[in-house]
Structures are given as structure tokens and as C-alpha cells.
Amino acid sequence: MTIALLSDFGTRDVFVGVMKGVIAQIAPQARLIDLTHDIPTGDVRTAALRLWQAGPFMPRGTVFLAVVDPGVGSERAAVAVSTDRFTCVGPDNGLFTFLLAQASGARAVAISSHTGQIEQGNATFHGRDIFAPAAARLAAGTPLTELGPEISGLTRLAYPRLELLAQGADPSSVRGEILLADLFGNIITSIGILRYTRNALRLEPWVPECPGAHFPLVGLRARLGSYADVPLVRTYGDVAQGSPLAYVGSDGLLEIGVNRGSAMEMFPIAPGAEVLLHLG
């Protein structure tokens, strides 16, 4: 069984290693994958997006152990959620919103105090005392319902903007928003999932309630807020060095980059700002 870990703990302190030590005592055969521990401190939304990015590439049955928990010690619940493909363990603060968006068969339980948690735990390290033991027990084969009573109404984050705009009967553009930037300064947007077909670009929305659509491959451009349009191309080498481009990123989301440069430096625009994919 695989346990995939994500947190905002960083790697300078021993927090991540301690969680792994707890897991090793309970489920020594579990495979551990570090997704990232560099989520900005307390940034639940970024963590939720990173989980969504990783989800399709984890083995079936993976237990996602996610600890980005600005409400630790408060009344927020500790939860475990199972679906047809994976299980999530962490605080009920919206962390799993996007990962669960297209999952089926979701069941959730509130993790109870008698489920093998660390004795003499404290109120500030639930990753060690509650979540790691629960994830390890699930990986070792403990049924979900043994962790606590079933619950409904998990906390959900608001979905990003993703909507079709039409002229007449045909969609003419897609409106979305800036989600975040990666280490290289590429800007990731909510527009997607986009897939190339033989003669069109197909939108298969990852956000619920947005319909799918097809767009011609020629003449598509992206507009970031009030900045000039950027051409949609296949890859960086399709534009001159130092020039901006729009492209379909590895997750199927529309991204904005600069060949040998940083889009975040060229377009200093904040998450949540509007982006438009349209025919130029």
C-alpha cells in the first residue's frame, strides 16, 4: 500500500521524519511518497490544487496523508475519506475538495480518539498524533469504519472560475482565473482540462457544472487581465527566446510561460485574476 504525504512542514525540522517514523511502526510495509512539504504555510487552497495534480499518477488504493492545518487545535474535525480509487486522511478544512471533485463512492468518517493515536499527544501536532497513525492503519488494512463514525457534509473550498462564453450557438471563449505559479515562474490557470485532437482543442472541464466544448486549433490566444494577448502554441520552442506563450501544461490546464524566462516576472498578476482563452 502507498501513502502519499503532503504538508507545509518544510524539511528543515523533523516533523516529516517523525510522521514517517510513526507510520513505520504501524505499517512497516507501506511505500511512502513525498508529494511536497513546501506548501506555503497554512495555504489550504494551494495544497488542495497540488493534491489534485498528483492524484491521477498515484497507484490505485493510495492513502493521501495531507497536513496543512491552520485550524489545528480548533473544533475542525479530523477525517478520513475513501473513494473508488484512493483514501484521504487529514483535517476537514477543504484540503480534499479538488481531489474529490471527480471521484465516486466517497465515504467519510470522523477519526475518533480511540483509533491507535499517539498516547500523550498534544494539541499542535496532529500530523504525528492523529493523522499519521490513521493513515498507517488504513494502509495496513484497517477498514475505514473502524476509525470512527460516518459523517456527511465535508468542508469544501469554492471552485475556481471556469465558464464558457458563447456567440450565438457556438462557444467563442473560456473564462478562468490564475491559480498559482510553479518554481519556474509559469502561471497555471483554471482553464482545462484541455486535450488536443486531430483538428481541434477539446475542453473536458475539471470543475463541476462547466460543459465541455471544442475549439479550432488555429488562432487561439490567452489574455491575462489587462495584458496583451499571448498566442497558444504547443511548446516553448514555438516562440522566440524571451517571448511569452500559452500552452497546455502537463496537467491539461492552460499555462502561461516565457521561453527562457519567467511569466510571473513579465506579468506580475495575482492568483484569482481573470484569464480568457479566445479566438484572436
Grade residue 117 by pLDDT with cuts at 50, 70 and 90: low
**Mean pLDDT score of the chain, rounded to an integer?**
92
Q: What single string gives the DSSP state of each residue in 25-51? A: HH-TT-EEEEEES-PPTT-HHHHHHHH
pLDDT at 252 over 70: yes
Distance (Å, whole) CA 68 – CA 38 = 10
Give the domain 2-151 fold. Answer: Rossmann fold (3.40.50)
Domain ranges of the chain: 2-151, 162-279
> What are the angstrom distances between the C-alpha of 20 and each of 5, 15, 144?
9, 9, 20
Whether 76 has a pLDDT exceeding 90, the answer reads no
Q: Cell triple for residue 262?
A: 519567467
Confidence of residue 89 (pLDDT cuts 50, 70, 90): very high
Query: What mean pLDDT is predicted for residues 39-56?
Result: 97
> Strand, helix or coil at 233?
coil
Range from 31-35, 111-115, 137-141 carrying the lowest mean pLDDT: 111-115
| CATH superfamily for domain 162-279 | Bacterial fluorinating enzyme like (2.40.30.90)
Dihedral-angle region of residue 90 (phi above 0 means left; psi in -120 to 50 means alpha; beta otherwise): left
DSSP 8-state class, residue 264? H
- Residue 15's SS3 state is helix
First to last CA, the chain: 49
| pLDDT tier at 73, thresholds 50, 70, 90 | confident
What is the DSSP code string of 93-127? SSTTTTTTTT--S-EEEEPPTTSSPPTT--SS-HI
- Picking from 201, 107, 98, the residue whose alpha carbon sits closest to that of residue 145 is 107
Q: How many CA atoms lie within 13 A of 206 on its CB side?
A: 23
Query: Quick one: pLDDT at residue 167?
Result: 64
Q: What is the mean pLDDT of residues 171-190?
A: 93
